[in-house]
Amino acid sequence: MTNIHRSFGAALVSCAIAVLIGTTARATDESPWNEDVRSAVRLIAGSSKVDDAVLRAGIEVKLRPGWKTYWRYPGDSGVPPHFDFSGSENLKKADVFYPAPHLFTDETGQSLGYKDTVIFPVVVLPQQSGKPVRLRVKVDYAVCEKLCVPVEGRAELVLESGDSKHDPTLTAAEGRVPKHVTAGQLGLTAKRANDGAKPTVTVDLGAPAGKPVELFVEGPTPQWALPIPKPAKTAPPGRAQFSFELDGLPPGVDPKSPTDLIFTVVTGDRAVEVKTHLD
């Protein structure tokens, strides 16, 4: 038997083993980095099985020291990222999720986002289940040190069943996405404290003793730009209290009218998201 025949036979044996254990050999589980001088973007794959209805991926953004990028609501300044998957193949839907952000305070105010590295988990629904998805993404985002710079990143990766070396880091990023809970589960109440032109809203919620709590608030649509709630100087044991003005509303919205608000609560490594109604 020639060396060529031996190599071909070995390849057939490898493929047979992959079929037997229910996985397929991936061409790659990461795209190349799409870099500029301040940041870089790539796609990574998560582990999945042949019969999985969805595929898992992550959009990883790497930042140079001193630079940051933004959450879906950036705070006092900044630009939220935008993800465009048009041009993908065998893609029905791609949902991007945001890990809990960090609060940054500087001379420009307070902003919400990430430094060093962030992975945005993506849940991918194929058009034809069981077949690979060629995921193409264009990411429009901003990176800031003292000034903000717009950036465009592009990445492409074939997602298919199989194991991925990036599964531990992708799973960790998925774990940092705030979990949905009810206001009752968190013991959260929000109410107007006055009827001024920009009413003050006070928020009270349960909190573990001795752990710092951060609270972020969003309106019912992305056009709302509410201030970051300020913590009260004192609160009863086992409680945390915050307040903010109903400022930054879209034109034509009455700040005294009922509305839905979304609160993200970060306590150490735990983050939850609560939707509540403000009467």
Q: Give the pLDDT confidence of 9-36 residue by residue, as tens digits.
A: 443 333 333 333 334 445 689 999 999 9
pLDDT at 4 over 60: no
Q: Which of helix, strand or coil describes residue 92?
A: strand
Question: Interior CA angle at 145 toward 140 and 151, to 5°?
Answer: 15
pLDDT at 259 over 50: yes
pLDDT at 52 over 90: no
String of DSSP letters for 133-186: EEEEEEEEEEEESSSEEEEEEEEEEEE-SB--TTHHHHHHHHHTSPEEE-HHHH
Q: State residue 18's pLDDT score.
A: 35
Task: Pick 26-176's CATH classification: 3.10.180.10, 3.20.20.70, 2.60.40.1250, 3.30.360.10.
Answer: 2.60.40.1250
Q: State residue 15's pLDDT score.
A: 34
Q: To the nearest whole number, what is the mean pLDDT of the chain?
A: 89
Q: State residue 8's pLDDT score.
A: 35
Q: State residue 53's pLDDT score.
A: 86
Fold of 180-278: Immunoglobulin-like (2.60.40)
Each residue of 43-75: b (16+ CB within 10 Å) or e? bbbbbbeeeeebbbbbbbbbbeeebbbbbbbbb
The residue ranges of every structural domain in the chain are 26-176, 180-278
- Does the predicted TM-score (pTM) go above 0.85? yes
Q: State residue 26's pLDDT score.
A: 58
pLDDT at 60 over 60: yes
User: What integer is the mean pLDDT of 77-106?
Assistant: 95
Q: State residue 130's pLDDT score.
A: 87
Residue, of 149 and 3, whose pLDDT is higher: 149
User: What integer is the mean pLDDT of 58-69?
Assistant: 97
Share of the chain above pLDDT 70, in %: 90
Are both 26-176 and 180-278 of the same fold? yes
Q: pLDDT tens digits for 93-109?
A: 999 999 999 999 988 78
Q: State residue 251's pLDDT score.
A: 95
Give the range among 121-125, 136-140, 192-196 with minimum mean pLDDT: 192-196
